[in-house]
Structure 1
Amino acid sequence: MLNILHIWDQAGVACVLAKYQRRMQGCQSKVIITSNADKFGIYDFYSSSNNNNNNDDNDNIADVVASPQDFVGTCLKRAEKADVIHVHSRADMVPILRKRFGDSKVIVLHYHGTDIRGLRKYSLPHRSIASDIAIMAIYTARRIKNRSTNPQAQKMADRVVVATPDLLELAPPMSVYVPNPVDVDHFRPIRKNPAAGERTGQSDDEDNNSSTKALTFNTETADLQLVMQHFEKSRLPYELEVYDRTKNPIRYGDMPAFLGKYRAYVDIRYVNGKVLQNQSKTALEALACGLKVIDYRANVHTRLPPEHDPLGIASRLVGMYHNLLENKGARRLQL
């Protein structure tokens, strides 16, 4: 049995990987996270405490630690039984794990975006002055910590993985790009049965095609002013609605139904003044739900690219884990 422990998570990627790795014969996989990181209800969705997802595959994937102060100690305890420790974003955990376990464990460090790219400008929700000050302090502390811990963690990890191709230029040599998986059990074309209000698993083409409503999100990392300027220059035939997720988070379990209200998702994102060329995870989820996705070049995408198939990605990673287990201590082996 291959025992995989995912430490931390970004946008549900670790949970999706763990879910589909569990479907592979001879694999056990779990995610450990803290409760204060669950702004969008992702870990509630992928834990046994959620009784509303109607999917046994989601049960007990996420092990939610109530107190952030207990996180490191709990990780070390859970890691004792793991063969592979897959660390998402938390580069600070890699030296701690390596010091405790030496070369007895395979450690993978997975970057998802601003954890290696950095973030010079971010949006504040302005819920209160105290809230804004707290958020600014978190981002400042995170930037300082990443600057000091990333180089050390990269040297100590058996493999460095990045979630988007553009991050390869920021990562060390021999890093590997692994596409973001989408939980296609959860994100799929849907329509509601008027009588029962239930999901049928089929898209409602008539409703989608009659609407010109398009959606984009305002997030903490996006520069909305640049996004709107870009959209207006594109002269796209859509009525764009900007939903502010910094003030009104949408629960992960509710996201497919929310996306289904729109015909298209506009995937234009600026971070640190630069447009991001890769498709966002939200855009991929929108494609899985049957929406059109419009990228920064005004290209229209209609299908989820096959490289984001969750089982295929899970299988690829398990193959990488086995390769590393057979060559412990030999860093940066290629897939």
Structure 2
Amino acid sequence: MRAALRTRYGGPDVITFDDVPDPVPGRGELLVDVHATTVNRTDCAYRSGSPWINRVVCGLPRPRIPVLGSEYAGVVTATGADVDRYAVGDRVFGFVEGRAGAHADLVVVPTEGLVAPVPAGWELTAAAPGMEGAHYAHACLRVTGVGAGDRALVHGAAGGIGTALVQLLHAEGVEVTAVCDRLPLHRPDLLTELGAAHVLELTSGADLRAAGGGFDVVLDATGHLPYTAARPLLRPRGSYVSSDLGRGGQNLLLAAVGPVTGALGRRRARFPLPHADRTLADHLAGLMASGAYRPVIDRSYEFDELREAYAYVDSGRKVGNVVVVMPTAAE
């Protein structure tokens, strides 16, 4: 099969294309013919090896697994032993963090991980970005316990995780204030359409203080809002959550002392530890089927344009998600 590889860490230029042996599904696994994949923040971190924690996960001093790609949608072509939930020909989508391999013609995925049937009526290219951003967003919601009637501010609301956060919070009955650097010119009402009650675009000259205060939770979807800037926006006992480790891993340290500050009735930081299992995959697929959640797609690229897709995601200009269409889908 053809695959996108990297044997060292670096920019998009480290990506090469080559033929590699077809993967074989083991017990409890599926072999999926990839029709569409994505380039997301996880992929860029695994490619670049930055921040440092990604090299611990991916391998030192060079990547342990050469094939890139974590998110996919496609068709089951084979199953391993003890697989009774899926059959050859089923359309599935999912996320394979930690083992990668989705930037290829074929990928092996565990049935108990983040994989689910594609909802009826959905194109594979539309379903491909359904898991990565949403599973990080769900972790942010879970760690705070935010629910109906609460007020949340999402900083970086126009990105892959941010657009998922706005929709998942809205589905839970949370009043959402969405903050972003810029809104897409062709969809200026995007965040309102996704469920945000209030939208603050910082490029219009507005200051973050214009969002007000008294939020039950402030969610940093891009890693660009430090706790010190978020703290004044929170009510007493309110929570700050970031999808990023922060400078020097400070968000982990802040979360470690969070129980103490919380017990004192003060604002606290929490750190979301995402979990990837079948229950969450089914939950997200159900939200997609009901119309409560639909991943936002910014651009689509052909597989041969994968380096260009990575460069665009690296630029920080994307809105929502970037999809890569595989040759199988084009055929």
TM-score of the superposed pair, with normalisation by structure 1: 0.34
Which structure's residues are more often helix, by fraction? 1
TM-score of the superposed pair, with normalisation by structure 2: 0.34
